[in-house]
Chains A and B, each alone.
Chain A
Amino acid sequence: MKCIITIELGTNAVRVFAFDLNGNVIGSMKGHYHTFHTGPDYSEQDPEQIFITMLYVLKNLLNEIIHPKKYAVASICFSASMHSVLAVDKNGVPLGNAITWADNRAKKEAQELKNSPDAKTIYTATGTPIHPMSPLLKIAWIKNNSRERFALTSKFLSIKSYIIQQLTGEYLIDYSLASATGLLNIHTLKWETGALDYAGISAGMLPDLVPVFASAGKLKKAFQNSLNLPADTKIIVGSSDGCLATLGAGIWDEGKATITIEDSGAVRVVGKKVLQDERQRFFNYLLTEDCYVSGGPTNNGGIIFEWFTKQFGDFKNPFDEEQSMEELIAEASKVHAGSEGLLFLPYLLGERAPIWNANARGVYFGLNIKHERRHFIRATIEGILYEIYSIGKILEEHRTINSLSINGSFASIPFCTQIIADIFNKPVNLRADYHSVGVGAFLLSATEMGIYKTLDEAAKTIDLPDKYVPRRESHAVYSSYFSIFERLSTKLAEEFEAIATLQEKDAADSGTNKVLSKIKLT
């Protein structure tokens, strides 16, 4: 019996799945690693910890499930979070930690490029919004602020490229992940000269470009031995988490969109053409050369409700966030749609699509004397989902969307899924087990093996059994409140900037005056 293994190098953890050739999950395991915030705006991960965690989890899955059940591993396919950057020296040794997608240190670089005439050319060529998340700007930041590291750097890799290089010795990146670097021309599939010049690097300093189906070379001998895998085990380069989650959700036709909400979130559509947006609000990432995944990302997904739970949940059992969250949701469900006029803007982490405003902040609006705790709970959830709708709405200016497919731990909470159906006024499909990225990687591998002729055919096999139907009355309520939500999001721009500036100043002051804050605490 053969099986396909998928490895997802995610934001907080590596998830390894094993599928049989019919797409059934044989087993799965995860291993967590930390994100380090060594400075304001910094989000870094230890590349060696990611590598070792991946190796450890893979080994455990093989030893505990795959080898005892006598499965032969046909292929191992990778996926990873987008936008990571890891500088390595001429021996391939990391120069510091990997910089993750959530890192905002290149704020200044992003603002400068945005204001320059090159912005439009680079965005149109690369499809990646000009934002600190983009590796283009992270590399520019290293060039401007970390000269010694820049001088020592032989290559700028993605985390996935580093992990694959450790396993096989090859420096590779697939077109798909590369299309999220801000450095790849998504029309010609070559590194974009203008972007390379801006970052101050040559194409030779990036990994070699290969298709998502490409083999990443042979596992090094030592790993063949320690993992007990044959030399001909196929290592497939794979794609990014965003593109594979879309594929795994069965989204392949026009007329459909997928909504993913974990800590952060995104609304995505798939098509044969790039979405050209005058205001540069969308990303356009490649899955294969004739398939673009387009959409908009939000910073403020489930992480905002987690924040709310930590502050206001009951925690009857210590550290039991799940239980506290369930109780809050039960309380929220007793409130009518629209939270009786309490609105919430969820921009605690600044916001990307559609307002692209790093200074945006959270707001409760419309509070009156009758509002209770339960209204706050419901308003918080509705606010997170209005934000998702605001991305969907601008996508609809370009594409018709008839139905939605949902994935991610927050979006697939039934209470949230129903609200999504109601706000969008569209039918929603989901599968309760939320591992679309793994399923996407499986479909990719299975297509590579010839089980499916095309990715199109593979995507069509996805059957999402649970359906949520929009409720007319709720939709009417949400629509009227949403128009206020939408106006507030842009109307408050000046005040957002003013308060963000003050907050930054305050944080800097309390940094130098830690002593003062200590007195306040004691």
Chain B
Amino acid sequence: MNQFVLQQGHSPELELFPHIVELGAKKNSSIQLNSLPESVSDSIRIYYVIDGKFEWNIHHQPYMLYPGDVALILPGQAFGSEKGFLEIGSLSWIHITIAKLESGEVVPGKWSSLSESESLTIGKILVLNNSLVLSKLNEAGRILQYIQSELFNQHIGYCTRVNHLIDELFITITRQLTRQSNPARDFPKAFMQLEQTLRQNLSHQWTVEEMAAVVGMGTTLFNEKVKSYSGFSPINYLINIRISEAIKLLKKVDISLTDIALDTGFYSSQHFSTTFKKLTGYTPSEFRKNNLPHN
């Protein structure tokens, strides 16, 4: 294994790739004090364990990592070794800056050739998931190796190739994230988890692709399963939840109709009003008038 560290601003290899903050591989054969203190960074950090056993704290949770495991540290999350030093073993890693949109969502960035909607979905899944260690993801280790050899050899087309490989890494990790939380057996449970996620992020403009990705399913299968299980298409099921939450808010006096509309994920109070009336026969304000204290 070749040991190396490339750093943005120091290594000419990274000049054409401003989004790669750091790329490295290391075989650690001796323990050095304070070699891995807890740190927070703006970039997304991905570590792949080649060999050894590591005890790390990610986002203040202790994890034990074994060969083949991947640690995923999101921007703003703390990461470091339990004991402050890097244990004996081999690992490779990459740090990538990630773009934050005005809406607060994160996406890989302009260098990526992912489509806009897939990019959003991947960002969403990365942020939503709380399992920060992925087990047995050898694929990630291989991709990191390819990135390294592309950067060092600089053959024709390597610029495109490196960025494609980073896209590939994101896709692989996202797929594993959703698969890990849903072992493709218990649809009711997966659907329940989805509903909880939807309710916690109701103001987000969910697409079917995003919802399918949350439960780790392809869109076609997802549509079919939701329809046969719930009687509704995914989008109509979501509208149901939006309206039920809106009804609860309408029965409280102190929230404006516009706020309710936006909180429950409608584009505008107009959109809210039309959808609400179509389903219930009342406009939101009529509904509120009927349900407020009569005094």
Residues of A with Cβ closer than 8 Å to B?
13, 29-32, 34, 46, 48-49, 51-53, 55-57, 59, 90-94, 220-227, 310, 313, 315, 318-319, 321, 515, 518-519, 522
Contact = CB atoms under 8 A, between A and B. Distances in A.
A49 B244 contact: yes
Contact of A225 (B221, B281, B292): B281
Contact of B244 (A13, A46, A93, A227): A46
B159 interface: no
A29 B69 CA distance: 46
A56 B240 contact: yes
B64 A522 contact: yes
B282 A48 contact: no
A34 B69 CA distance: 35
Given A31-B232, A32-B229, A48 B280 contact: no
B280 A222 contact: yes
Contacts, number: 100
A395 B284 CA distance: 53
A405 B61 CA distance: 55
Contacts of B186: 310, 319, 321
Contacts of A90: 293
B217 interface: yes
Given A59-B279, A315-B185, 16 more contacts: A13-B231, A30-B231, A31-B240, A32-B229, A48-B243, A51-B247, A52-B240, A52-B280, A55-B280, A223-B280, A224-B281, A226-B278, A319-B187, A515-B61, A518-B61, A519-B62
A34 B278 CA distance: 23
B241 interface: yes
B232 to A, nearest CB: 6
Contacts of A91: 251, 291-294
Interface in B235-258: 236-237, 240-241, 243-245, 247-248, 251
Contacts of A221: 281
B231 A319 contact: no
Given A222-B280, A226-B278, A52 B243 contact: yes
B279 A522 contact: no
Interface string B185-198: 11100101001000
Given A48-B244, A226-B278, A29 B65 contact: no
A92 B247 CA distance: 13
B280 A32 contact: no
B187 A93 contact: no
Nearest to A221: B281
Nearest to A516: B62
B107 to A, nearest CB: 28
Contacts of A519: 62-64
B133 interface: yes
B279 A55 contact: yes
A282 B12 CA distance: 81
A321 B195 CA distance: 20
Nearest to A47: B244
Contacts of A313: 185
Contact of A31 (B133, B230, B291): B230
Given A56-B279, A92-B291, A518 B241 contact: no
Contact of A321 (B185, B232, B281): B185
Nearest to B135: A522
B244 A222 contact: no
Most buried by A among B195, B231, B245: B231
Contact of B192 (A31, A34, A49, A93): A34
